[in-house]
Structure 1
Amino acid sequence: MQHPTQSVKIKQAIQTSDFEQAIVLADKGISQSDNGAIEFLYLKAVAQRLSKRNQQAIHTLDQLIERKPDYGRAFQEQGYCFKTLGQSEKAASGFYKATRFNPALLASWQQIQQHYQSTGNTIALAIASEQIAFLQKLQRPVLGAMDLMYEGQLHKAEQVCRQFLLKNKHDCEAMMLLAEIGIKLKVYHDAEFLLESCVELYPQEPRAAHAYQSLLLKLGKYAQALSFIESRAPEDMHDRKLKLAHASALSGVGKLEQATSIYLKVLNENDDQPQVWLSLGHVYKSAGQLDKAIEAYKKAAHYQPDFGDAYWSLANTKTYTFDDTAIAKMNAAVKSVSASLDDRIHLYFALGKAYEDGNNIASAFACYKKGNTLKSKTLDFDIKRVEGAMENQKAACTTALFSRATGCPAPDPIFIVGLPRAGSTLLEQILASHSQIDGTMELHDILGIASRVSGQKLSYPHNLSELSDEQCCQLGELYIQQTKAYRQGAPFFIDKMPNNFIHIGLIKRILPHAKIIDARRDPFACCFSGYKQLFADGQEFTYSLDSIGRYYNSYLSLMDHWHNVLPGQILTVQHEDVLDDLPGQVKRMLDYLDLPFESACLAYHETKRAIKTPSSEQVRQPIFQRGRHQYKPFIPYLDPLFEALGKAPETP
């Protein structure tokens, strides 16, 4: 593990211009580090540049960027090196990339401001000048905390921000920044409270309002977001950002026609808006209008040829097939020096799907691997932490915890849990075809309540035993109240957030009569399907074959625990059994839910409803078997997965 005094010694050597000593100490730190040596590589590059060894510094920075491709300060250093070498375009590119990954780097903004002045790029110059003015107005500790946040040092950033707020209570910028840090740390309840307070204290600050409504949308609190947006002054509704947020909220609550209307009006003002075309495509896809969705995604790619998300959205329909021309365009875009890291990640996943459809398995896996590797380097994910969290659930949630039924007595919720890509969307579509069940979406409310409970003196989940009957009842009622906006009036409704399997203990404490269905799939098919899926948010364990295999095993172990402490209260439904015997599994699920059989559940693909998951088009078709063994051609590449799972597929 990196020793904190080592970096201090290197910085001291740099400050006293003892660059040789700094480089020696940095090399020692790199050799001893077990966490990527990011800071040591950065300090080594700084020492090399300051000692006029720019080419060596560039080589060190290449190593650093290979390990952490979103490290803003590395690109800033790159910019300085190229500037010294007289390579102005490469320097400008370095400074520009630095601002993309770390918008708090004032020096990089000032450098590209000079570049835009010399090249006459007035639009880019105005953007840079505006950001410079904003950063220069910030109090120094706030700017420092912002810089730390963008470089991934979230806990340090939080500490600096909180210390500043102790002396400058209710400072708007510091409150918004602390909320942003909270979002990155996934402490959503605290972030929401901060932004809500900010809006109340500074009603004329549009950035606070925008941040608040953006968080509500991120958390899936679409009804609350819609109410907040529509409460804004009428003159504000002419603002483009607010219009788009309004459309997103409307889409979230199922008002797809109204959302579509807003997007089309915005595009009517200016066709060249790739992000809006993308959002419109998502609405069309949710509504089952696949042809329109595909055309919208193509428009997005037309206006921005390296727009990775547009190509990935086409791939993510699961039914679209790329032609040779599109594959050539994607290959050109992913190799372009101007392509952003995010675009490259999306393009690699889209290319993987394109090559897989063409049965070019070697190229498909190479692209999936590149996409996953790049994505994983942008994440602070440690599978050991997740495994520990699941072990904590087992330790805290014993049989004694559920010895009596506490909480809200409402029987309304049906939770479908499991791993992503395990067939949960199919189960939801089947059950939502029943007249007494509303389908909703992947609701964030249980995760939000878990975050709220985490703030207690005893850490979650160990504090579940400390919750009083009244508290359990209040939390259950809060869940029922928050989810009303997503229901259409049926007595029961589905919450299809897969990750809720971790929180079954919390669910059963606050909603003892809730039903829970565990959607389970063959481990090889499930894990590989997750590996080749680029998720919009979360599911960070899927970007490594080793991590996804270990996660699957931890999931199985935790589900075994829930079955032991909650006997008979959870129904496991195997995806392959649904494919083989749809009527039998439908009857089994409805019997578990104490509901009468309805034939509409067998004709689930005819049910018209908004579906927001990647499987939306697949569940609008009758049962098919072609996805069952999609992993088999990739078996030669999946050894890390098999090792993590502790087993491999049987060979014929």
Structure 2
Amino acid sequence: MVTNVGEDNSKNHIKIDDIKRALQAGESDNAISLCQRVLENPKDTQEKIEAYYMLAVAQRTKGLIDEATETLKTLIAADPNHARAHQENGYLFLSTDNKPSAAAAFAKATRLNPALLSSWQKLAPLYAELNHSAGERFASQQIAYLLQLPVEIRGARDLMYEGKLGLADSVCRRFLQNHKHHAEAMLLLGEIGIKLKLYHEAEFLLESCVEIHPTHEAARAEYVQLLSKLGKFEQAKLQAEQLLNEHPSNHQYLAAKAGAMVGIGEVEPAIELYQQIIGDRNDLPGIQLLLGHAYKANGNIEQAIAAYQQAYKIRPDYGDAFWSLANTKTYRFTDEELTLMQTQLDKIDIEQDDKAHLEFALAKAYEDRKRFDTAFSYYQKGNASKNQRSHYSQVKVSEQVEAQKSVFTADYFKTYQDLGDQSPDPIFIVGLPRAGSTLLEQILASHSQVDGTMELHNVLGLAARLRNSKSGYPKIVAELDNEYFARFGKQFIADTRCYRQGAAFFIDKMPNNFMHIGLIKSILPKAKIIDARRDPIACCFSGYKQLFAEGQEFSYDLDNLIHYYQSYLSLMDHWNSVLPGYVLKVQHEDVIDDLEGQVRRLLDFCQLPFEASCLDFHKTKRTIKTPSSEQVRQPINSSAREQWKHFEAQLTPLITAFGAK
């Protein structure tokens, strides 16, 4: 139910466990008193939230329905994703015989925490009474699934959904020690690994699970999602097809296959799959959203907009639909849409992801209307919503940068030069997000000898694998047998072939690869690396305005942005010192001012002949999945160059750090 948030050294401080014991003993008055004393001076936010939750439980058990209702309003406002708070709301609605509202509350609780058995057990009979046969059937299936799980795994699953990942991981590993290769435990440990961003370990677990238990659907479905997250779309497609062999009309598996197909550039057949799903069910906002993304990637912006609009018409609080409209960078919201977004944002029980998406969308809407103060207030709110769940650590990033410098020295490159695979195929574009990398990619991909791909995860994946070694990364690189360098390089070329269309060269536009230039040089010494630069204030503010699908956690706080940008500059200075001439720096503003001169400079660096098509980059038809997709389909312009100056008063930290030109 609720765990102790930790011991307190003060003898007078009430502990959460004291309240738990009072509740378990049926001492509602004592529990209420203890909760109120904790709330007078809580140690931290987590203790305050747990105290509010137990206060609501105690008030309900004592029959204080109105008081419990008000307590839950306060709790949900502080933590909209508190599953047990919504479950408590369900109990309160049941006590007043409000069955439709009770069903909605229990359903919300199970969306937030699918391991809440008691909510499912209330939902099934409620749906039966409300003649919701599909809901009753699904709830009954979930009850059966949870009941057949070992108690330890059901408890660990609950802990995972409650965000207690370390404890869930420990419980799961302890269970696996005595039940080796247990399918549900392997699956759960993989899911926990994904939430902890231990992707390589999670991939190994899920791959092992489907090999040992080839008929376990849930494990294979989770494996498909992880492969797509890692950019391994060809493998994801094959795994999705295995699921579809047994369940050819399953919407989840059809959507998974379509998503993988978009990843490898098979956009038109992916769109057909999404349309097939919509033909069966036209009430699925998530599918409309994915359809919109596919249209956008293919350059069909009008169809993308229509799909996004349909998504929010199905679910008016679907924040991602509004943000996706804003993220086209060209869409302008109507007054009616502005009102609708604000109405949804004002709902007390709005989910955190929807809240952040709506705040970023409203910020963009008000910026377009030149209401800059209002726009910035929404950018602040949206970033604060995201930053609360961010795990960015300035100390950790600084340590990573210094570790790269300490291993990849000039002496290292003299010792290990030219051991890697000699293929000249890859062109890496690195830097910070929103620095103009998509424009450089589009210019190069307009050349007949260059394939544009996407932000590939392969180098990051290799770094993650090496990080799990005994010595850790990057230290392990200097301890590898020489044969590994060419092996890793060959593997990179082989694994990325599925993203290419047959040209001699191809682009990997993962910006975060700037951290791994030493590794790239070690395994692919003839690769080209381009550093996309932009005015630091413009770049950082553009990142602050962008709600990224995942990662880039530094972007949700101005101080973190400054630290990350300065870390990037420091490391790039190091690479340029120990690898002179290996990286070409291209300044975004120079490309705007002198397109042809910079295009010729780019092509010369990549040892490619000049082609006029690179100047007409906006005419090139290709799949683009980054936020700048619509911008690079237009001729070069400088409209975004000084947008930050509308917010000059609010950007003092950036101006102080980097100086305004």
Shared fold (TM-score, shorter chain, > 0.5): yes
State the 1:379 CA deviation.
Answer: 3.4
Q: Which amino acid counterpart does residue 265 of structure 1 have in structure 2?
A: Q
**Conserved? CA contact 1:102–1:150, under 8 Å:** yes
- 2:281 corresponds in structure 1 to 270
**TM-score, with normalisation over the residues of structure 1?**
0.91
Deviations 1:408-434 (A, max 9, x none): 222211111111111100000011111
Aligned partner of residue 30 in structure 1, secondary structure: coil
Distance in 2 between the 1:409 and 1:580 partners? 36
Q: How does 1:161-180 map to 2 (within 5 A)?
A: 161-180=172-191
**Conserved? CA contact 1:345–1:375, under 8 Å:** yes
State the 1:130 CA deviation.
Answer: 2.3
Aligned partner of residue 439 in structure 1, secondary structure: strand
Aligned partner of residue 237 in structure 1, secondary structure: coil
1:397 has 2:408 as partner? yes
Distance in 2 between the 1:535 and 1:293 partners? 18
- 1:242 corresponds in structure 2 to 253
Deviations 1:194-215 (A, max 9, x none): 1112212222222122111111
**Aligned with 1:134 (options 136, 140, 145):** 145
Point out where structure 2 has 5 or more consecutive residues left out of the alignment. none
**Conserved? CA contact 1:26–1:44, under 8 Å:** no
**Conserved? CA contact 1:422–1:520, under 8 Å:** yes
- 1:11 corresponds in structure 2 to 17
Deviations 1:202-244 (A, max 9, x none): 2222212211111111211111122333355645323222222
Q: Which amino acid counterpart does residue 228 of structure 2 have in structure 1?
A: L
Q: How does 1:306-325 map to 2 (within 5 A)?
A: 306-325=317-336
Distance in 2 between the 1:458 and 1:55 partners? 59
Distance in 2 between the 1:60 and 1:337 partners? 13
State the 1:517 CA deviation.
Answer: 0.9
**Conserved? CA contact 1:13–1:21, under 8 Å:** no
- 1:432 corresponds in structure 2 to 445
Structure 1's 233 and 635: CA in aligned 2 closer, same or farther, altered over 3 A? closer
**Conserved? CA contact 1:44–1:60, under 8 Å:** yes
Distance in 2 between the 1:385 and 1:71 partners? 29
State the identity %.
50
Deviations 1:41-78 (A, max 9, x none): 31464257437587777777666655544343444456
**Conserved? CA contact 1:223–1:485, under 8 Å:** yes
State the 1:114 CA deviation.
Answer: 5.3
Structure 1's 80 and 399: CA in aligned 2 closer, same or farther, altered over 3 A? farther
Aligned partner of residue 4 in structure 1, secondary structure: coil
**Aligned with 2:629 (options 590, 605, 616):** 616
State the 1:519 CA deviation.
Answer: 0.8
State the 1:102 CA deviation.
Answer: 1.9
State the 1:123 CA deviation.
Answer: 3.4
**Conserved? CA contact 1:179–1:191, under 8 Å:** yes
- 2:58 corresponds in structure 1 to 50
* Residues 92-101 or 347-356, more deviating: 92-101
State the 1:26 CA deviation.
Answer: 4.3
Distance in 2 between the 1:510 and 1:545 partners? 35
Deviations 1:532-588 (A, max 9, x none): 111111112212222222221221122222222222211111111111111121122
Deviations 1:120-159 (A, max 9, x none): 4443333333222222221111122212222222222212
Distance in 2 between the 1:425 and 1:468 partners? 36
Distance in 2 between the 1:156 and 1:636 partners? 45
Point out where structure 1 has 5 or more consecutive residues left out of the alignment. none
**Aligned with 1:522 (options 535, 542, 545):** 535
- 1:298 corresponds in structure 2 to 309
1:577 has 2:566 as partner? no
Distance in 2 between the 1:88 and 1:267 partners? 31
Distance in 2 between the 1:520 and 1:303 partners? 41
**Aligned with 1:478 (options 486, 491, 499):** 491
Aligned partner of residue 440 in structure 1, secondary structure: strand
**Aligned with 2:567 (options 534, 549, 554):** 554
Q: How does 1:508-547 map to 2 (within 5 A)?
A: 508-547=521-560
Q: Which amino acid counterpart does residue 4 of structure 1 have in structure 2?
A: G
Structure 1's 85 and 305: CA in aligned 2 closer, same or farther, altered over 3 A? closer
Structure 1's 460 and 61: CA in aligned 2 closer, same or farther, altered over 3 A? farther
State the 1:524 CA deviation.
Answer: 1.4
State the 1:87 CA deviation.
Answer: 7.8
Distance in 1 between the 2:560 and 2:33 partners? 39
Q: Which amino acid counterpart does residue 11 of structure 1 have in structure 2?
A: D
- 1:280 corresponds in structure 2 to 291
Deviations 1:366-420 (A, max 9, x none): 2222222222223344343333333332333333332232222222111111111
Q: Which amino acid counterpart does residue 556 of structure 1 have in structure 2?
A: L
Aligned partner of residue 532 in structure 2, secondary structure: strand
**Conserved? CA contact 1:439–1:494, under 8 Å:** yes
Structure 1's 628 and 178: CA in aligned 2 closer, same or farther, altered over 3 A? same
Distance in 2 between the 1:375 and 1:9 partners? 30
Distance in 2 between the 1:377 and 1:55 partners? 31
- 2:205 corresponds in structure 1 to 194
Q: Which amino acid counterpart does residue 528 of structure 2 have in structure 1?
A: K
**TM-score, with normalisation over the residues of structure 2?**
0.90
**Conserved? CA contact 2:16–2:47, under 8 Å:** no
Structure 1's 89 and 302: CA in aligned 2 closer, same or farther, altered over 3 A? closer
Deviations 1:436-467 (A, max 9, x none): 21110011111111111122111222222112
Aligned partner of residue 453 in structure 2, secondary structure: coil
Q: Which amino acid counterpart does residue 215 of structure 1 have in structure 2?
A: L
1:30 has 2:30 as partner? no
Question: RMSD over aligned Cα, in angstroms?
Answer: 2.8
Q: Which amino acid counterpart does residue 491 of structure 2 have in structure 1?
A: L
**Conserved? CA contact 1:49–1:81, under 8 Å:** no
**Conserved? CA contact 1:76–1:95, under 8 Å:** yes
Structure 1's 300 and 40: CA in aligned 2 closer, same or farther, altered over 3 A? closer
* Residues 91-100 or 553-562, more deviating: 91-100
Structure 1's 477 and 239: CA in aligned 2 closer, same or farther, altered over 3 A? same
